[in-house]
Structure 1
């Protein structure tokens, strides 16, 4: 038995599955258009590196012409990134890249504590600025299907909001659009692919992620998935199939909470 051939065959199959799902998301949401300049945000983790490699590879045969630049946002609380290996990956792809230091902790006001929401907003703001500086009209983020499902539930359970992480987001204040080409890809698929590519993680683990609300939601989804393996896909579908007749609007909420006749 030739284990090397089996290994290569499995790797190619996983790569093909991921590429097909990325292609479908790009097509369904019209993520990439002719002449786009895309800034790919690369944390150094499995998701963003998988995304970068696919978008670079896709340029060779994609019928639409686009350009790519990569950027790594280096925060002041997570600086043990293996920069050499990350830069090697950037050089391997052949795209222009930037390593951009951002003092996220240094921006906290006295008495405030670090949290994922604050950090994400600060990094996103810097990405917007860099995209404008580099004349990139799109920013590609490595959020996958699991991230999208978790975010919707997090907003419902912890913020009391019906809102999620959209595959495409256009901003009025900035001349760029956020795209998430991994929107149909399961985290498990990326883990299998990244493990065979030896890119599971090049950066240090976020010290604030261990106690995050996202981790709690992830465990809930994992438990439910034991009886329904399509949970993530169904949550994404629900974001398209909104029946407003069966959702409380602002006026209805005010009327129901102010009714004390009973």
Structure 2
């Protein structure tokens, strides 16, 4: 991907990007986030075939005021500016009437950067705190209410998709939450369709590391708004999973990337889900052909390393 041309007029650069740090390290970070978003958009077909400057779909980009959604918006705006994303972007913030929420920050941010936007105010805070006891987490009900409102806004604006800022660690955390507490292998897909079948939910930062997003948001000096509703609750299961993943990454750098790749490399014949693989009718084949689901697979790097170590010890 090309860097911003040195001779580009400042007016040609989106306002949001004009004050981006010019250091080599930050440029590499910025390019990596752009590349990963392009790969996710392409790998999962987030952009419909036939989309062009003349036929632009609309995406509702949801902003909470956190580092992830700010980064998402910046990445999409840059891809759009470079001619790599022929979509019409509409930024949307849902003001949930949380006490002390700084209602001026996001509207001011959008206006200063010339970003088309919608601010929706709906008091879901009172509903959540009324329905959920104080000692329990609000996340499930809060997210359902929020999602329903965003679907409505997307329909009103003629959008084909709502776009969320979930990243690689969010996806891994959800996977382990389902594994540890839900008894199923499932996570946040980068692309899904809602229950009504009329809107897509997209996560273009699915390949991006949270640490990269945090460094990008810091470098861009985004006006971060903390979440004082669910973020103020201690002992969340998701927090426990997050700490576990961070420990693994610290002990073995690169482990999270390997686990993320594993989510895209499943083998139903090597799991226990009978709805995905016909174990009942699996029988030895005549001749030399190994039936699907056999052991004809390349050994993993860990097994090769262990084998080499064992033989070396002898």
TM interval, short-chain normalised: 0.7 to 0.9
* Whole-angstrom distance in 2 between the partners of 1:109 and 1:208: 11
Q: Does the 8 A contact of 2:58 with 2:87 survive in 1? A: yes
* Whole-angstrom distance in 2 between the partners of 1:110 and 1:9: 50
Report the counterpart of residue 250 of structure 2 in structure 1. 226
Residues 61-97 of structure 1 deviation map (CA, whole Å, 9 limit, x = unaligned): 2245210101111113x34343333223212443321
Report the counterpart of residue 203 of structure 1 in structure 2. 225
Report the counterpart of residue 164 of structure 1 in structure 2. 187
Q: Which has the higher helix share?
A: 1
| Cα distance, 1:151 vs structure 2 | 0.6
Of the two, which has the highest radius of gyration? Answer: 2
Residues 148-196 of structure 1 deviation map (CA, whole Å, 9 limit, x = unaligned): 1111001111122211000001124041101101111111011111111
* Whole-angstrom distance in 2 between the partners of 1:93 and 1:32: 25
Give the secondary structure class of the aligned counterpart of 1:193: helix
Gaps of 5+ in 2: 1-20, 276-314
Aligned to 2:268, which of 244, 248, 253? 244
Pairs within 5 Å for 1:136-155: 136-155=159-178
| TM-score w.r.t. length of structure 1 | 0.84
Residues 175-225 of structure 1 deviation map (CA, whole Å, 9 limit, x = unaligned): 1101101111111011111111112x5323333234221110010011111
* Whole-angstrom distance in 1 between the partners of 2:62 and 2:226: 16
1:11 has 2:34 as partner: no
* Whole-angstrom distance in 2 between the partners of 1:95 and 1:138: 18
| TM-score w.r.t. length of structure 2 | 0.71
Report the counterpart of residue 43 of structure 2 in structure 1. 28
Could you list the structure 1 runs, at least 4 aligned residues long, displaced by more than 6 angstroms after superposition: none
Q: 1:147 to 1:111 in 2, by over 3 A?
A: closer
Gaps of 5+ in 1: 1-5, 252-262
Report the counterpart of residue 143 of structure 2 in structure 1. 120
Alignment size in residue pairs: 244
Q: Does the 8 A contact of 2:79 with 2:85 survive in 1? A: no
| Cα distance, 1:8 vs structure 2 | 2.8
Moved more, 215-224 or 55-64: 55-64
